[in-house]
């Protein structure tokens, strides 16, 4: 090989390396922007600061604003009581407590109802009212970095799993004889599934109801990158990896902690999975993957035709709550 050829090859190699480095830097920057968009509540790029995103969220709430939701909201406003605790990393967490709303309350029975991404406790009012009418005392936490709970970065379920455990422990300390239901929608569903897979889950937790949860945070971010942002697969994977890097820098934990399939395999308590079959935000196939991964004593699934994201209870309320009630009867019998 001639000196000229060797020099040319070296230049090509150096050019390729420089191009790869530039692509890597650009992808890292894109991942950082994506993280600020999805998780940094103080950033002007944060999704909830976007007019379009607010319109989409408002539209979804309007779809679920049925008579039951309006009744639940009035009851929520009239009867809620404030409760605070602290996360394991020192943030003040806030929740609303609602007493049973029936003639014969069930002693020692509690439901923790967790809202979704960019939501607030109020959106869980109709679920809380249903549980209160079953005789439960209901706690509706504001997820970290939402409503009155402190925190800058949204955890997408990863950080929230330990916050849910904090609320469980608040109940257990006050009532060692408690039986606790964990119910979550969307990001809240991921949080309660992840909490139920923790090694230190208290025996007082009796059952999990997850509505519209994702298989893992990574899977959900990849789905959003592909279907909503139209990213090529390779760019989407690299962007999610860069978001994990940003999460580690800002919170000390990345999205790999948000593996709901792994949590389902470890979960020692009954699980009910619910999903709208017309969900375009979190694919309903995730429900089947979660149920297939589950190795515990009881798993039930409910797919609701015609229901969009977290709209199963609005689309088919009778079937929804009949399924929940039957599931909980069995779960409580097993927990006794």
| pLDDT, position 65 | 65
Bridge partners of 209, per DSSP, are 183, 272
Query: Model pTM?
Result: 0.90
Cβ atoms 112, 139 nearer than 8 A: yes
Query: In angstroms, how far is CA 199 from the centroid of its own chain?
Result: 19
CA 112 – CA 97 distance, rounded (Å): 9
pLDDT in tens, 201-233: 999 999 999 999 999 999 999 999 998 888 888
DSSP states of 192-259 as a string? HHHHHTSTT--TTEEEEEEES--SBHHHHHHHIIIIIS---HHHHHHHHHHHHHHHHHHHS--GGG-B
At 21 the pLDDT is 41
Six token digits for residue 36: 């600020």
Residues 307-335: what's their mean pLDDT? 97
**Beta bridge mates, 94:** 84
For the segment 159-183, the average pLDDT, to the nearest whole number, is 98
Dump pLDDT digits (tens) for 123-143.
999 999 999 999 999 999 999
Which of 40-54, 58-72, 263-277 holds the top average pLDDT?
263-277
Q: Which domains does the chain have, with CATH numbers?
A: 51-216+258-335 (3.40.50.1820)
Band the pLDDT of 16: cuts 50, 70, 90.
Answer: very low
Look at residue 306 and tell me whether its pLDDT is greater than 60: yes
What integer pLDDT is reported at residue 201 of this predicted model?
98
Going by C-alpha positions, the residue among 305, 257, 270 that lies closest to residue 284 is 305
Phi and psi (nearest 5°) for 236? -60, -45
């Amino acid at each position: 090989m001639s000196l000229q050829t060797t020099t040319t090859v070296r230049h090509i190699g150096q050019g390729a390396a420089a191009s790869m480095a530039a692509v890597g830097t650009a992808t890292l920057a894109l991942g950082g922007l994506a993280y600020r968009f999805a998780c940094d509540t103080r950033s002007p790029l944060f999704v909830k600061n976007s007019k379009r995103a607010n319109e989409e969220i408002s539209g979804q709430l309007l779809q679920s604003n049925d008579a039951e939701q309006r009744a639940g909201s009035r009851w929520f406003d009239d009867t809620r009581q404030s409760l605070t605790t602290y996360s394991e990393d020192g943030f003040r967490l806030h929740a609303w407590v609602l007493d049973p709303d029936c003639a014969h309350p069930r002693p020692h029975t509690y439901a923790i109802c967790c809202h979704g991404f960019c939501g607030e406790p109020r959106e869980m009012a109709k679920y809380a009212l249903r549980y209160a009418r079953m005789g439960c005392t209901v706690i509706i936490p504001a997820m970290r970095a939402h409503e009155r709970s402190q925190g800058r970065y949204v955890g997408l379920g990863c950080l929230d799993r330990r916050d849910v455990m904090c609320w469980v422990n608040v109940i257990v300390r006050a009532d060692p004889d408690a039986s606790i239901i964990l119910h979550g929608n969307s990001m809240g569903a991921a949080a309660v599934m992840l909490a139920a897979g923790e090694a230190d889950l208290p025996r007082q937790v009796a059952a999990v109801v997850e509505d519209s949860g994702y298989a893992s945070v990574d899977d959900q971010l990849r789905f959003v990158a592909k279907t909503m942002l139209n990213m090529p697969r390779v760019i989407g994977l690299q962007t999610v990896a860069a978001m994990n890097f940003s999460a580690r820098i800002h919170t000390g934990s990345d999205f790999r902690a948000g593996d709901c399939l792994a949590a389902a395999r470890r979960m020692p308590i009954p699980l009910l999975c619910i999903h709208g079959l017309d969900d375009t935000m979190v694919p309903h196939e995730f429900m089947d993957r979660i149920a297939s991964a589950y190795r515990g004593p009881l798993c039930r699934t409910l797919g609701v035709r015609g229901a969009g994201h977290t709209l199963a209870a609005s689309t088919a309320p009778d079937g929804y709550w009949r399924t929940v009630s039957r599931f909980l009867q069995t779960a409580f019998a097993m927990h006794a």
